[in-house]
Every structure is written in C-alpha cells, then in structure tokens.
C-alpha cells in the first residue's frame, strides 16, 4: 500500500509538472540525479545526509560541518526532496555532491543506494522513507535519524500506520529532540534512542561564531539604541515604522522578507525619517540615515549582533521566522501572535527572553519599556542568550556518539 501511494503521488507530480514550474524543477531534478551520481560518485566512502528542505538542511548542517572538520577524508552526499531546498543549496560547499532524492519507489531506492553506495545515512527530522530505509538496512549500512521529533497523532502511532512504523525498527539509532519522542518510540519497541535536543541551536551558535562583521551596519548602530527587524512583512512594518517615525532617539535596521522593488518603495513611502538602502550605502549616507533598509539576502544572521532589541517578523501572517537566530546574540526578541507551533519561541516567552505582541499598542508599550528600563533590557537579553546556550550541544553529542570525541 505504501509503495502504491508513492506511485500515485509520482503520477500526480508528473501531471502537475505540465502546469507548475516548481513541480517541473522537481521532476527534472529527479532525472538529473542519476546522471549526477554516475558522474560524481567514485569509489564510495560517502556519508549521505538527506534533508526535505532548507529547515532540515540547517539542522543537518552542524553535523556536516563537524564531519568535514574532524574527518576531512570522508566525502559528503547531500540530497533534498524539495526544489526550495535544492535550488538554494545546490552549490553548498560543505558537500561534495548535492542532488535531489528521487521518489521512494522500490526501484529508485535500490538504484540510488547502488549508485551512491554510502557508508552511512543521516535522515533529518521527519524523513522516514520506507523503501530507502529497507534497502539501506538490507545492505548493512548504518542509518541515523537526527533532530527527529515524534507526536502522538503521527501515522506511526495510529492503528492503520503500524505497517509503516515497522521501518522505524530498521533505524540504527534515533537522536531525538525530547523525552516524549523517546516514550512514543518505546511503545513501538524501538529502544536505540538518545534524547539530545535540537541541532538548530548548534546551528545558530555556529552562525554567531562565524558571523562576519558588517562595517556599514556597525557604524550605523554605534552608540545608539537600534531595533533590528528581520524577515518583516507588511503587517509587521505597519506596526514598526509608525513607532520608529515618532522615536527620534532610536534607529531602525529593517530587513524585509520580500526585497522586491515595489515592496522596498512601499517601505520608503511609509518612512518619515532619513533612510538608505544597504546595497547603495556609503559611510557618508549611513552617517546621515536613521533607517538602514537591507535590500539583499544573506546578511540577517550577522545583523542581529547590532540589535538593542530584535523583532522577528511573520507573526501576523503564516507564522514567525527564525527566533533563535536573533536570540543567540543575547538581545530581547519581539514577535507577533502566530507563534503557537514554534517550540523555541514559546520557551523564550516563558523564560522572559521573548515578548509576544498583539498589535501596535502592545509593541509601543514593550519597546518603551525596553528603551527606558536598562535593567529590564539586560534581563531579557540574558534570558534569550542563556536559553540558546543551555540548549546547544546536540550536534557534538551525536557526532561524538557515532564517530568518537
């Protein structure tokens, strides 16, 4: 039944590729995988990491980077399922080979493992492809599930999902995020489980250590109270910008999620104070500006270091973006109300490192308190930074358990 569902999904994807560019990229990428493996894979010795998309990639990245540093003789094969992951990270320098993972049919699984012949396989978070796992298990290749998390309502723990759940017993070892996941796996008779936490905390800690200085942003922020707003959407900006316009004592670094020209012009039309776009900024224009608009990608994780207070967008839409990316710098974080499914945000709210707002009034009150009350600002910042530091370390635990310290 499982393989039949996969075949039906594959048929639907082929049909959808006639109308969708994204699905067409997926299907073309699957076909290209076989050529990539034949061309790039030599005598083996590859360690295979599979991530569904960008989020899972970021969770696997700390392990890949540790493997690269400590065992440079080993080669890394990185696969993605979604175009949003592959198209962004297909040139990732931390892997030797990057490609799509074709649909989980029995034939594809046998062909992929035969061509890649990995020495070990790492599946990140929710990735449990039964046919691939079956083939790896038959070939005696170790399979590790990392940063995985299980919930009562998942198919494995339903009566109709028990057949699918059998593949979990073929995993060599699970490195799960919490104790509840271990308890659920134990109900299925899976005992090779370690509770280590989430490697995302290691990723943000690594990002902070590797963050490059941004001299223009540094000179812009020097000696001033600065709100760094990351991944903002229009509803976020409609709250942030009016407050900023009326508070001459503070500066604003605004990194919108969408950097289209039309959206940048919308932002500039709302501002009542001098602003400059980062892409055309000079030391002179930065010195004269009160708002620095980040009109390019890839800088946000380094920009949060200049924040007195951070705001992470998305909470008035589909959901907040990366809160730990800001909290790691030890600054308080403000977010919108759509954060219930984000465990780190909920924990940071509970420990005082993060504050949820419901609208412009809440935002004004919270910001006024932070900017006027140094003690409150420091306490919230310490709480945010401590939460990240206390939860980091999963990647080292996993790596040392598998490869030795």
Tokens (6 digits) for 185: 């796996």
Domains of the chain: 2-206+393-403 (3.40.50.11720), 213-391 (3.40.50.2000)
Element (H, E) at 261: helix 261-270
Is the Cβ–Cβ distance between 253 and 331 less than 8 Å? Answer: no
Torsions phi, psi of 128, nearest 5?
Answer: -135, 85
In this structure, of 53-57, 118-122, 252-256, 378-382, the range with the lowest mean pLDDT score is 53-57
State the pLDDT at residue 36: 92
CB 244 within 8 Å of CB 275: no
Selection from 31-35, 102-106, 265-269 with the highest mean pLDDT? 265-269
d(CA 101, CA 124): 13
Gap between the Cα atoms of 374 and 382, Å rounded? 12
pLDDT at 92: 93
Q: What is the pLDDT of residue 110?
A: 95
Rounded to an integer, what distance in angstroms lies between the CA atom of residue 175 and that of residue 146?
5
Q: Report residue 99's pLDDT band, with 50, 70 and 90 as the boundaries.
A: very high
Nearest Cα residue to 83 out of 97, 95, 100, 96: 100
Using CA atoms, how far residue 356 sits from 238, 244, 246, 337, in Å, is: 16, 19, 22, 6
Q: How confident is the model at residue 14 (pLDDT cuts 50, 70, 90)?
A: low
d(CA 141, CA 132) in angstroms, rounded, equals 11
Round to whole Å and give the CA distance between 146 and 61: 11
The Cα 394–Cα 62 span in angstroms is 9
Give the per-residue pLDDT at 13: 67
The residue count of the chain comes to 405
**SS3 call for 57:** helix
In sequence order, the 6+-apart residues with CB closer than 8 A to the CB of 93 are none
Q: Read off the pLDDT of residues 213-266 as tens digits, 9 standing for 90 and up.
A: 999 999 999 999 999 999 999 999 999 999 999 999 999 999 999 899 999 999
What is the 8-class DSSP label of residue 79? E
Q: Which residues pair with 124 in a beta bridge?
A: 146
Question: Does the pLDDT at position 72 exceed 90?
Answer: yes
- Burial class of residue 169, CB neighbours in 10 A (0-12, 13-18, 19+): middle
pLDDT tens digit sequence for 158-217: 877 777 888 899 999 999 999 999 999 999 999 999 999 999 999 999 989 988 899 999
pLDDT of 8 strictly over 80? no
Stretch 103-126: mean pLDDT: 93
Least confident among 67-71, 82-86, 216-220, 349-353: 82-86
Residue 174, number of CB atoms within 10 A of its CB: 23
Q: Is the pTM of this model over 0.95?
A: no
From residue 52, give the alpha-carbon distance in Å to each of 214, 258, 378. 32, 23, 38
- The per-residue pLDDT for range 292-343, each reduced to its tens digit, is 999 998 899 899 999 999 999 999 998 999 999 999 999 999 999 999 988 8
């Amino acid at each position: 039944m499982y393989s039949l569902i996969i075949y039906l999904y594959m048929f639907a994807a082929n049909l959808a590729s006639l109308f969708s560019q994204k699905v067409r990229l997926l299907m073309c990428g699957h076909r290209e995988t076989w050529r990539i493996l034949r061309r790039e894979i030599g005598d083996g010795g590859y360690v295979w990491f599979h991530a569904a998309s960008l989020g899972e990639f970021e969770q696997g990245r700390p392990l890949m980077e540790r493997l690269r540093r400590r065992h440079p003789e080993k080669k890394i094969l990185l696969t993605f399922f979604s175009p949003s992951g592959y198209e962004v990270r297909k040139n990732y320098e931390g892997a030797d080979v990057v490609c799509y993972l074709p649909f989980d049919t029995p034939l594809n699984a046998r062909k992929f493992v035969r061509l890649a012949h990995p020495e070990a396989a790492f599946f990140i978070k929710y990735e449990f492809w039964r046919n691939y796992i079956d083939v790896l298990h038959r070939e005696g290749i170790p399979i590790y599930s990392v940063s995985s998390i299980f919930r009562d309502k998942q198919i494995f723990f339903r009566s109709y999902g028990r057949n699918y759940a059998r593949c979990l017993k073929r995993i060599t070892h699970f490195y799960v995020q919490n104790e509840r996941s271990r308890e659920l796996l134990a109900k299925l008779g899976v005992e090779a489980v370690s509770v280590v936490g989430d490697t995302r905390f290691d990723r943000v800690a690594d990002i902070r250590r590797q963050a490059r200085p941004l001299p223009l942003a540094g000179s812009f922020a020097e000696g001033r109270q600065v709100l760094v707003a990351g991944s903002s959407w229009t509803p976020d900006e409609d709250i942030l910008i009016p407050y900023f316009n009326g508070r001459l004592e503070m500066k604003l670094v605004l990194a919108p999620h969408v950097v289209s020209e039309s959206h940048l012009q919308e932002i500039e039309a709302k501002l009542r104070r001098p602003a400059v776009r980062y892409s055309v900024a000079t030391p002179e224009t930065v010195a004269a500006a009160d708002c620095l608009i980040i009109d390019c990608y890839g800088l946000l994780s380094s920009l949060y270091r200049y924040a007195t207070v951070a705001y992470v967008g998305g909470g008035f839409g589909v959901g907040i973006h990366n809160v730990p990316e800001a909290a790691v710098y030890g600054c308080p974080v403000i977010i919108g109300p759509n954060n219930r499914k984000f465990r780190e945000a909920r924990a940071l709210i509970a420990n005082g490192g993060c504050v949820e707002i419901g609208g412009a009034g809440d935002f004004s009150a919270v910001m006024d308190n932070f900017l006027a009350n140094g003690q409150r600002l420091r306490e919230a910042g310490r709480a945010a930074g401590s939460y990240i530091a206390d939860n980091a370390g999963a990647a080292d635990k996993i790596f040392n358990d598998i490869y030795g310290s």
